[in-house]
């Protein structure tokens, strides 16, 4: 079985700064894989490097067995779509939901947009009543649903999720996580998901990689988090921090 | 001040924002009292938790309308206090820590000078002494090299360091009441705990009252003595933090329940079914 997504010793350099120092990861088809780490660990940079949004200095990225070149072609974006962290920043403020969802279809020359848009909105739990609204007329959770609909409308096989719920309230986070699980099950999607929240990754992913300062610290199965079967000190610290504040003494 | 008297009394606090499309009631009759303890105010966005903190601090937008049956700090009626005296109180006896040091520190003034400014606004101290006390305060928030950090600008330090600097600035004048509005939400989890530990120790050592405003129910319950849960501008439940597991209100229960937990295999996650009567 060929892996859905392979990153092999990927390096990303911004001017003099090495944001990613040779990170490798392989995600199997249908798997949900998590990337955890603190700010500056390079977890989002890895996602952006795969999506073609960060300059890859060396190393290779392979999607569904096909190595990627310097530029991503249209076919790539039919397979791989991304959902960003900030639902306030990732939707065009002067486009209606309808127009936002039209855009990827127009770029890829796909017809029957009417049907597809209606179906996409239904799938993410927004009725057609939302279709002609602007993003400022939506709540954070609704916006993130639109962003997910936009990613799904091209029927990709891989979704890159960059902190999809960290800007949302806890109750809304639960709804969006449930939605993501639902569509993954329905469409047999592969997820590569970034989060700083270990509990979210533990809930959503089967395997995960812990990152720090642009390097992979360790790879774990979600069950290892539950049983605290972790080798690296940094992971232990993250685990401890996720349990909340403990008063000294 | 007598021992049994509360530091802060809030009764039926309301904050209203008149807008073109009608009045928005951000806070709708909040009551609580605070001694020298750690009180957590928890709620989701729009619950009015931050507006409650701001109203106590006297930092509500001037267009808004703040009313209360009682709003007293150490026996001083804050409702009728002239702006001048309120200013003297603010920063000196009541201080506030904001969420993101990137936005709440002045970007063009060095960290040390910002701390000195707070001190010299409220106390008659010489330049040299103010500097000395600012350095001590930076050391107290566990900044390793206070002399170096004193001359740095906010953009030159990390988020955790910036937040420590803000705590130093707020505590240097020795306030009795500290309001912390999401003080660690912009920080990484491991840094978050360091900052909380510093805050915890300083609050305990100085016998301050603390209002800790946050959206994170779990964090608040592990840090505070008592928790006030807000929903749609109202207090739906008040309880000791240790009793959180036995919360009565369905909103509190739902909020606790909907968070993913390591080891709890629940698919799908329970979602919060909001009921109209909670907001009534």
Q: What is the pLDDT of residues B21-36, one digit of tens each?
A: 999 999 999 999 999 9
Q: Is residue A200 part of a domain?
A: yes
The residues, any chain, with a CB within 8 Å of residue A105's CB and separated by 6 or more, are A113, A116, A117, A153, A154
Best to test chain A binding among B183, B223, B260 (most A CBs inside 10 Å): B260
Q: What is the pLDDT of residues B202-255, one digit of tens each?
A: 889 989 999 999 998 888 888 999 999 999 999 999 999 999 889 999 999 999
The pLDDT score that the predictor gives to residue B1 is 45
Structure confidence at residue A167 as a pLDDT band (50, 70, 90): confident
List the domain range (segments joined by +) for residue A35.
5-241
Q: Is residue A115 part of a domain?
A: yes
Q: Is residue A28 part of a domain?
A: yes
Q: What is the mean pLDDT of residues B158-186?
A: 91
Q: Do B259 and A182 touch (CB under 8 A)?
A: no
Q: Structural domain tally of chain A?
A: 1
Q: Do A246 and B263 touch (CB under 8 A)?
A: no
Q: What is the mean pLDDT of residues B157-175?
A: 91
What mean pLDDT value characterizes chain B? 91
The pLDDT score that the predictor gives to residue B119 is 94
CB-CB contact of B203 with B233 (8 Å): no
Q: Do A171 and B271 touch (CB under 8 A)?
A: yes
| pLDDT over 70 percentage in chain A | 99
Q: Quick one: tokens of B269?
A: 């996650």
Assess B258–A contact: CB distance below 8 Å, yes or no.
yes
Q: Is residue A246 part of a domain?
A: no
**Above 60 in pLDDT, residue A249?**
no
3-state helix, strand, coil in chain B (%, to 5): 40, 25, 35
**Above 70 in pLDDT, residue B3?**
no
Q: Give the DSSP letter of residue B187.
A: S
**For A248, nearest residue in chain B (alpha carbons):** B197
DSSP sequence for chain A: ---SEEEEEEEEEETTEEEEEEEEEEE-TT-EEEEEE-TTSSHHHHHHHHHT-S-EEEEEEEETTEE--SS--HHHHHHEEEE-S-TTTSS-TTSBHHHHHHHHHHHTT---HHHHHHHHHHHTT--GGGTT-BGGGS-HHHHHHHHHHHHHTT--SEEEEESTTTTS-HHHHHHHHHHHHHHHHHHT-EEEEEES-HHHHHHH-SEEEEEETTEEEEEEEHHHHHTT----HHHHHHHHHTT------
Q: Is residue A249 part of a domain?
A: no
Q: What is the mean pLDDT of residues B90-117?
A: 92
* CA B164 distance to own-chain centroid: 14
Contacts of A244 in chain B (CB under 8 A): 218-219, 221-223
Q: How far is B192 from chain A (nearest CA, A)?
A: 8
**For B264, nearest residue in chain A (alpha carbons):** A203
Q: What is the pLDDT of residues B47-85, one digit of tens each?
A: 999 999 999 999 999 999 999 999 999 999 999 999 999
Q: Give the DSSP letter of residue B30.
A: E
**Above 60 in pLDDT, residue B4?**
no
Better-scored residue on pLDDT, B277 or A154: A154
What ipTM describes this predicted complex? 0.83
If we measure between CA atoms, which residue out of A41, A45, A38 comes closest to residue A14?
A: A45
Three-class secondary structure of residue B33 per DSSP: strand
**Above 80 in pLDDT, residue A248?**
no
pTM of the model: 0.89
Radius of gyration of chain B (CA): 19
The pLDDT score that the predictor gives to residue B2 is 45
**For B195, nearest residue in chain A (alpha carbons):** A245
**Above 60 in pLDDT, residue B87?**
yes
Contacts of A224 in chain B (CB under 8 A): none
Q: What is the mean pLDDT of residues B108-136?
A: 95
Among A178, A244, A246, the residue with its CB nearest the CB of B271 is A178
Among A175, A199, A202, the residue with its CB nearest the CB of B271 is A175
**Above 80 in pLDDT, residue B155?**
yes
**Above 50 in pLDDT, residue A169?**
yes
Best to test chain A binding among B256, B262, B271 (most A CBs inside 10 Å): B262
What mean pLDDT value characterizes chain A? 92
Assess A182–B contact: CB distance below 8 Å, yes or no.
yes
Q: Is residue A247 part of a domain?
A: no
CATH number at residue A105: 3.40.50.300
Q: Do B262 and A225 touch (CB under 8 A)?
A: yes
The pLDDT score that the predictor gives to residue A40 is 84
DSSP collapsed to 3 states, B202-254: HHHHHCCEEEEEECCHHHHHHHCCEEEEEECCEEEEEEEHHHHHHCCCHHHHH
CB-CB contact of A54 with A66 (8 Å): no
Q: Is residue A248 part of a domain?
A: no
The pLDDT score that the predictor gives to residue B99 is 84
The pLDDT score that the predictor gives to residue A1 is 67
Assess B194–A contact: CB distance below 8 Å, yes or no.
no
Better-scored residue on pLDDT, B279 or B28: B28
Residue A148 neighbours by CB distance under 10 Å: 25
Q: What is the pLDDT of residues A120-153, one digit of tens each?
A: 999 999 988 899 999 999 989 999 999 999 999 9
Assess B204–A contact: CB distance below 8 Å, yes or no.
no
**Above 90 in pLDDT, residue A245?**
no
Q: Is residue A203 part of a domain?
A: yes
């Amino acid at each position: 079985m060929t892996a859905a997504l392979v990153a092999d010793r990927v390096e990303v350099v911004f001017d003099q700064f090495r944001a990613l120092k040779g990170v490798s990861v392989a995600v199997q088809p249908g798997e949900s894989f998590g990337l955890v780490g603190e700010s500056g660990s390079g977890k989002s940079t890895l996602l952006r490097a795969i999506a073609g949004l960060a300059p890859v200095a060396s190393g290779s990225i392979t999607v569904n067995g096909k190595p990627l070149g310097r530029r991503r072609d249209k076919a790539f974006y039919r397979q791989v779509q991304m959902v960003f962290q900030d639902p306030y920043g990732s939707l065009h403020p002067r486009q209606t939901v309808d127009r936002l969802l039209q855009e990827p279809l127009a770029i890829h020359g796909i017809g029957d947009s009417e049907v597809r848009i209606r179906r996409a909105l239904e799938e993410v739990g927004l009725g057609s009543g939302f279709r002609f609204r602007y993003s400022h007329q939506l709540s954070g959770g609704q916006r993130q649903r639109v962003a997910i609909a936009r990613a799904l409308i091209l029927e990709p096989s891989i979704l890159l999720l960059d902190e999809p719920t960290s800007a949302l309230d806890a109750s809304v986070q639960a709804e969006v996580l449930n939605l993501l699980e639902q569509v993954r099950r329905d469409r047999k999607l592969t997820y590569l998901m970034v989060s700083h929240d270990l509990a979210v990754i533990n809930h959503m992913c089967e395997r995960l990689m812990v990152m720090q300062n642009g390097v992979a610290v360790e790879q774990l199965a979600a069950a290892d988090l539950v049983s605290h079967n972790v080798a690296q000190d940094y992971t232990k610290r993250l685990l401890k921090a996720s349990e909340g504040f403990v008063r000294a003494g | 001040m007598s021992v049994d008297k509360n530091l802060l009394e809030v009764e039926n606090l309301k904050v209203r924002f008149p807008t073109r499309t009608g009045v928005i009631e951000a806070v709708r009759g909040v009551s609580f009292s605070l001694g020298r303890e750690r009180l957590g105010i928890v709620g989701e966005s729009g619950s009015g938790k931050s507006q409650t903190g701001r109203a106590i601090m006297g930092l509500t937008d001037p267009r808004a309308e703040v009313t209360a049956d009682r709003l007293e700090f150490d026996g001083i009626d804050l409702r009728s206090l002239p702006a001048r005296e309120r200013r003297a109180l603010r920063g000196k006896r009541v201080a506030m820590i904001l969420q993101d040091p990137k936005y709440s520190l002045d970007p063009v003034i060095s960290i040390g000078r910002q701390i000195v400014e707070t001190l010299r606004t409220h106390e008659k101290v010489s330049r040299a002494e103010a500097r000395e006390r600012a350095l001590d305060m930076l050391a107290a928030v566990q900044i390793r090299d206070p002399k170096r950090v004193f001359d740095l600008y906010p953009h030159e330090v990390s988020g955790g360091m910036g937040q420590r600097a803000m705590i130093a600035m707020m505590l240097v004048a020795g306030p009795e009441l500290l309001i912390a509005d999401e003080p660690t939400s912009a920080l990484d989890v491991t840094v978050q705990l360091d900052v909380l530990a510093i805050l915890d120790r300083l609050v305990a050592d100085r016998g301050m009252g603390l209002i800790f405003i946050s959206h994170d129910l779990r964090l608040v319950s592990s840090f505070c003595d008592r928790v006030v849960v807000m929903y749609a501008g109202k207090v739906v439940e008040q309880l000791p933090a240790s009793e959180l597991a036995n919360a009565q209100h369905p909103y509190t229960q739902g909020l606790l329940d909907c968070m993913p937990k390591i080891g709890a295999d629940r698919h799908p996650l329970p979602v919060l079914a909001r009921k109209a009567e909670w907001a009534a």
